[in-house]
Amino acid sequence: MHKPNAQAVISALELEPHVEGGYFRRTFQADQRPMLETERGERYLMTSIYYLLTEQSPIGRFHFNESDILHFFHAGDALEYTLIFADGSLQTLVMGSDILAGQLLQMHVPGGIWKASRLLDGSNGFGLISEVVSPGFDFGDMQMGDRQKLTAQFPQHRALIEKLTLDED
């Protein structure tokens, strides 16, 4: 078995560029179940995607989701997740295969939290996870992080926010 590179994984899994950075493909939506009524409209009960960061696209920029998300690590290099809670507290978690070093194989991120991710240095050049979202993901429930608004709301995290958002100026 040969070691896959990022482009081979993108091709094999038929991934497309994601608005937050990296690559993705929806792999499931619970369309065999009744839709769930939310404040923002009907949603699938659950959806899932593959999500990949690469050396060429190593950052999943800060974004906010209304739904809960379960993340599952699959392959490649570790991914660091930065979470900013409504009260301004910060949490950093690492997903990867080195569980003895404290890396996580799965992680829950509740809805209503700002989240960003980045590929950590490694020998693979990519990190692959899956995300399961409930209620199901809809772009209407996602907000990309605006650098100016986030730094105004969380000035104590300015350097991190600048590193993990796009400069829209």
Answer whether the bond into residue 135 is a cis peptide, omega within 30°: yes
Asked if 79 and 132 touch (Cβ cutoff 8 Å), the reply is no
Residues in the chain, pLDDT under 50: none
Task: Give me the number of domains the chain comprises.
Answer: 1
Which residue segment(s) compose the domain that 93 sits in?
7-32+43-163
CATH number for position 85: 2.60.120.10
CA angle, corner 38, sides to 149 and 90, nearest 5?
A: 35
CA-nearest of 81, 165, 96, 104 to 128 is 96
* Residue 168, in any domain of the structure: no
Type of residue found at 147: R
pTM of the model: 0.92
